[in-house]
Structure 1
Amino acid sequence: MTMERERAAYEGAPLAARLTWLTALRLLVLTIFLVVAAFTYLGGFTSGGFSSLVALTTVAAAYGVAGIYAAFLRIRRALPSIARAQLVTDQITWTAIAYITGGATSGATSLYGLTCLTGAILLGLRGAAVAGAAGAAAYAAMCAAFVLRWIPVPPDQPFDAYETQGSDLLYPLFVNVMAIVVVTLLAAYLAERLRTTGGRLVQATARAEQAERLAALGRLAAGLAHEIRNPLGAIAGSIELLRTGGTLAQEDQQLCEIIERETKRLNELVSDMLELSRPRVPAMEPMDLAATIREVVVLASHSGRGGDVDVRYEGPATAVVVADPGQLRQVVWNLVRNAVQASSAGMAVVVGLAREEGQGYALEVRDQGRGIAREARDRLFDAFFTTRSHGIGIGLAVVKRILDDHGFSVSVDSVEGQGTTFRVLLPERVAQLDAAASLPVSERLPRSRATL
């Protein structure tokens, strides 16, 4: 799974829940800090005191704004905007606390970093950046206001505890702004790592659940495969005898063809279930992928709907790769079969193979079908997921498992109404290919051992 999918999986956790918990935590921290500051720094809340009035007004405003945010959280609208507004509000709140507890040199400036961490948790890098910019701007504005005499030193606080001259404010301004920047960068980095780890955890959990389902399927498939294949073989043999007997009318011949075709489809389904539920380690060896593709193209052209869909190969005459011949043949067959089933009569399915310098070979299976909806592409290789009315979604899951076992990648490019392209990248294995090149041709290019 790509990094984007991992991140999306982690970000599936509701933003509203994180906002609710962090809003409650913010109010708790604010209240505790103000109470501690009031009784240790202000000497308690005094009636009519300037600093006490600012402190109480700050608490009341913070709770009032929190109530507004809570109303938006209930309707779950514009949550990212609410999160950014909270971050800016918090930095302004900490600036008000810093103003009454020492100004530019107040210990309350450490709370700016707390909001940067909060922003990183809520919105990642963007949230940390918004919080950091708001904190630095609010702190710089307070320092500038002291220098320009826009705000006075609180009258009930000692004047000597405040720095109001520009030369005296340069150092604390520089130190605090740099601290905010460092905390912002660190918080953004940690949040990104957390998101990545969370996404991988979700992915690992999903894989474990899928593995459990596949294990159950494997036990069921192993028990039923023999019982299913025996009657299928008997049906296929009986139908073949009836067709060659020469006593059937034309209509009966057509019915026999239908039975034979559906019997073959059931046999393929059983084979896919066994392949998916009972994986084996690939037996890596040199093989001629081009020859394998040509064999599959010929087979697809003479089976199923290959008669009314043009299946052709475009690529080199020989292409030596290192893989499990049987499993890679299964991959090509499943992709071609999927493309044929997605095509209408008269359309073409092209299996292309090309050498990409420094990357290996690129295998593409292109059809002209109706395409795949964007919302379905992320689940395309999941077991038991299908976009067709028939089938149970096993063929592409087998493809993904085999390619993952080989270390090959597969991607899908689809335009609704124009067709779909499956692209498999088989990377270079220079050392193995060089060793294979010294072998006789008959040993380097073994024929596939798989049967379809």
Structure 2
Amino acid sequence: RVVKSIADLTDSPGGLLLVPDGASLGPGATWNWAGAADGPRDETLARYLAQDARIVELDRVRAGTAPSDDLASVPDWLRDCREAWAIVPLVHGGTLVGAIVLARPPVDRALDWEDFDLLRVAGRQAASYLAEDRAHAALADAARFDEFNRRFAFILHDIKNLVSQLTLVARNAERHADNPDFRVDMVATLKDSSDRMNALLARLSQHGPVRGEPLQPTDVAAIVERVATGRKAQHPIVAQGGPAWALGHAARLEQVLGQLVQNAVEASAADAPILLKVETIGEQVAIDVIDHGCGMTPGFVRDQLFKPFVSSKPAGFGIGAFEARQLVQAMGGALEIVSREGEGTRFRILLPVVAALEVAA
């Protein structure tokens, strides 16, 4: 469209858009162009158009009557292309974003001063459109890289949690390997870690955006019990509460609970148990993760806890709470927190309750 718009100003029947290709110019787009569209790469023309922004009359170049700079800058393939009539540079902000080679109009004529003024203004306008289009493309690329980096950060965070969990299991095994109950818990923890690593591999194999899954009745008590059982070899964990069903995603809820439990383990003393509590409060199911660890200041909770890449832990990635809240909100729920420095922290997940009739259906 840019080539056609410029060509229509001088009744030119076609045109060729040249765009930066390294330090030279190469073919970008054509409109009704029947002549040669490419030739040997030459930096001279690109450098000259960027410096002078001068419209070049190719008939004068062929006749040898053009200014010496024009004669020295036009490559042979454009001289030899008899259809090529004029070169209009597209300069934006002092940068050459391209050039349009206009085809000879049906009524062969020389360019006059009105043509020069009109093409100069139109060239600047076309250059701004091209520059804006490239800026949008660059922003789109940056957004894709940002999404890739965000996913990679979450994956690294999950790997760090798995390493921390297995490290604690190995450390406890040195002291309790002879205890049959510990061995049972250790096997459950290793199985849980293996399942999580397989889920991580599945996430890595997804090349496109993850599709939204419909919310389903979820057995919250079973998930809480599974998380507690899988972590007992790592740290003392107590699960409380009766049957409760909520609307959500089982895998995502287990991921959130695993993350919050890991945070609680890292904040607590080795012998300080963590409480997982389930209860129904009105139209919501509440799942509490309670620790008696170091706690957090009100300022950190308010201003930094849910900001990505901000962490109070020296080796933390700072995305655990951020990701947990995103996952809970995606299930139509909310994540609340109460923390007191030196006393401990309670994370509360609130999800819509599912009535018994809906579960039976």
TM-score by length of structure 1 reads 0.36
TM-score by length of structure 2 reads 0.44
- Higher-helix-fraction structure: 1
- Higher-strand-fraction structure: 2
